[in-house]
Structure 1
């Protein structure tokens, strides 16, 4: 019974990344490239597990969430303030990008089910989310909508089995990295939609209620792996779509394999995923800002304070404005996931530093050799992919010719190493200083 309760407690993490972004990005990857980008989901599932475990362990061992730990590590001076502003800025920008995708995805699902005009549905979703956030009545709604999203995920899982995909192709795509032409945005999108930067703060915040590291690792491990499998199932279903990806085409693929009613389940599931995430993203932005900036006078950052409300309101309004502009939901959602994939390395680097600080987590709580080896690989690859896609975006924006994909990865690896080596030096210095104090 205790294990079931633990699973339900940590299922919030998998529920938080199975949203419109996951459905859109994973299904688009399957439609355009079949199983070639499955490896990005394999990597991002492992990365999600590694980073979420470290973030939760930090809170359980130290009693401080990730935001508080970053504030302690980098407090004081202009550089400390600058780091806090950069971190909270990255999270708020990321949440605002997600919010645009959440509103657009929720509206697309509601439109599939009702046929109502998009502007009216956008205002309805935005106003409803705003009222729930203002009055703090989000938990019950989130649980109900989470149940609908879980049913949609189950529908994708069943459909993935029914279409009888090629297992050798799945294993090859899942284990062997490949970079098809023009796939960079989708690769970052797949990573950004699975390893959600604000989820790292969310997982750290809720871990305070966890009783032990063993309990946390069990619940978190199952939840993240389940979420990763659902994401892979969505990609598999996407391979069955002929032509360009669209929500209507994905709905039709589900209906053909599951029968009548599957299209409505998808429509309501997409709406539920979008609407529940439209509540979560602004809330996560406000909680992150609170953890980084709340000092002795915590009343200034209480949920009913103007500072706290201004953060979530700004994120929510961003989503509503995007919904009202009439932008196409699919490319906007993919772009939002890719932006967060690029922001992820920043958060991963700060987590890597604080989880290795003995003054925060003590010697038993910090990373061991194996954990550091895995986390180093995860953070470095995240930085590498982020740099590669920034270079590609720069080339497209300024019109200069880009080298081959392999040359691009080599250049990105060199840039990532230049960025990452100082981080390793900080970690080494902190660990050595901690060992000297303990001895």
Structure 2
């Protein structure tokens, strides 16, 4: 198999995999990244550089497994884990992904609503929510939304270009950029935003959606496509964070819109409003669909029930996610805190999905020695598990600690406890996948 690909092959692969970058550039990315820039300047850039690289590694693993086996990620997990234990693992994975999709869905609708309200502030939030939800339901029911999704993705991409143009003008030197892209820092009160930045970039359901995209591609084409598509998404996310530095006063969508207007004129408001709406509405279709596709891939292989796209089971799953998002979206919840929390929830769930992926990617009987994870793939995946596990555990502790259930606020001891728990987990996995695998 040739390791070199032509320009046309690389460009075609980029277009094929661009669905990944379009999927994670939603309202959550715009909100979390710009708020991080507004609050901490470029100090949290490292979270985006880390999560972009991590997303590339995990997506490559999922796609490589599909190329090797001819099956998507859910089917691979279903084959690997049989019996009662397997059913419990698959159920736990589905609940984790579906819960994350429901959290995303609330943020997606709130983001789309906010985009509309930037132009039409007098409209009823409840009525906008219901109209958007009905539109999503209709498109999901007929299962024919590809053309609309592509059009919305173009609007999101144009908004991304606008953010890149604005980011170039941010008053920051190359030294500040380079330092914050590489060196981790944890400013006081930044824990929720850090795990949110990771959760909005490494989207767990993208692993299931993206695992089947590589069918028919060579490893070289697949890898170039993922690197370019996810890399572009990461660059846009970094640009959004940098643009957040220009916000003056309290953070809000209106303040971010004003910052863009200062650099681009009225065009900035138009691009931001339409882009925010497009990102929210397209993602509001993708999140329920992703939950249903995950259930389909996990349960259809050993179930007699119908899991086709027009089946009752498939529609019940995406309907439950859509209804949950609609319910919370119509309750008058403030969009920005809700969206940041949704990204943090997905960041906390990420280690569970990553560990399941790690076990499946090391099954040489299923994938063959040539396609199963090697030493370095396992090494970097373990780093991802370790970082996300530590941040997730600390984020959970922070939430508990703030209500004063156990120790005084800002207690130091639990940080060491979380570090020990993470270390024990990683050492156990390292023994299994680095040392024991190397001896076999």
Contact 1:355 1:366 in 2 (8 A): yes
Superposed, which structure 2 residues align to 1:32-181 within 5 Å? 32-77=39-84, 79-115=85-121, 116-181=123-188
The residue that corresponds to 2:393 in the other structure is: 387
Please point out which of 23, 36, 39 is paired with 2:30. Answer: 23
Q: Secondary structure at the match of 2:246?
A: coil
Contact 1:353 1:426 in 2 (8 A): no
Give 1:430 shift. Answer: 8.5
Give 1:64 shift. Answer: 1.7
- TM-score for both structures, normalised by structure 2: 0.94
Q: Secondary structure at the match of 2:368?
A: helix
Q: Secondary structure at the match of 1:300?
A: coil
Q: Partners of 1:295 and 1:119 in 2: how far apart?
A: 40
The residue that corresponds to 2:363 in the other structure is: 357
Q: Partners of 2:391 and 2:403 in 1: how far apart?
A: 18
Give 1:357 shift. Answer: 1.1
Instruction: Verify: 1:198 aligned to 2:209, yes or no.
Output: no
Greater Cα offset, 19-28 or 236-245: 236-245
Q: Secondary structure at the match of 2:343?
A: helix
Q: Secondary structure at the match of 2:306?
A: helix
Contact 2:378 2:434 in 1 (8 A): no
Superposed CA offset, 1:268-303 (max 9, x none): 100000000000000000000011111256661011
Give 1:69 shift. Answer: 1.5
Change (3 A) 1:370 1:425: closer
Please point out which of 210, 219, 224 is paired with 1:213. Answer: 219
Change (3 A) 1:406 1:161: farther
Could you say which structure has the higher helix fraction?
1
Q: Secondary structure at the match of 2:186?
A: coil
Q: Partners of 2:429 and 2:83 in 1: how far apart?
A: 19
Please point out which of 252, 258, 266 is paired with 1:260. Answer: 266
Instruction: Verify: 1:371 aligned to 2:377, yes or no.
Output: yes
C-alpha root-mean-square deviation of aligned residues, in Å? 1.9
Change (3 A) 1:117 1:27: same
Give 1:154 shift. Answer: 0.4
Contact 1:163 1:257 in 2 (8 A): no
The residue that corresponds to 2:247 in the other structure is: 241
- TM-score for both structures, normalised by structure 1: 0.94
Superposed CA offset, 1:135-160 (max 9, x none): 01111111000000000000000010
Q: Partners of 1:415 and 1:356 in 2: how far apart?
A: 24
Contact 2:109 2:284 in 1 (8 A): yes
Unaligned stretches of 5+ residues in structure 2: 1-7
Q: Partners of 1:160 and 1:65 in 2: how far apart?
A: 38
Q: Partners of 1:191 and 1:406 in 2: how far apart?
A: 24
The residue that corresponds to 1:283 in the other structure is: 289
The residue that corresponds to 2:13 in the other structure is: 6
Q: Partners of 1:168 and 1:370 in 2: how far apart?
A: 30
Change (3 A) 1:405 1:256: farther
Superposed CA offset, 1:289-336 (max 9, x none): 011111256661011111110000000111111111000000000000
The residue that corresponds to 1:312 in the other structure is: 318
Greater Cα offset, 92-101 or 135-144: 135-144
Contact 1:113 1:268 in 2 (8 A): no
Q: Secondary structure at the match of 1:239?
A: helix
Give 1:172 shift. Answer: 1.8
Aligned residues: 432
Unaligned stretches of 5+ residues in structure 1: none
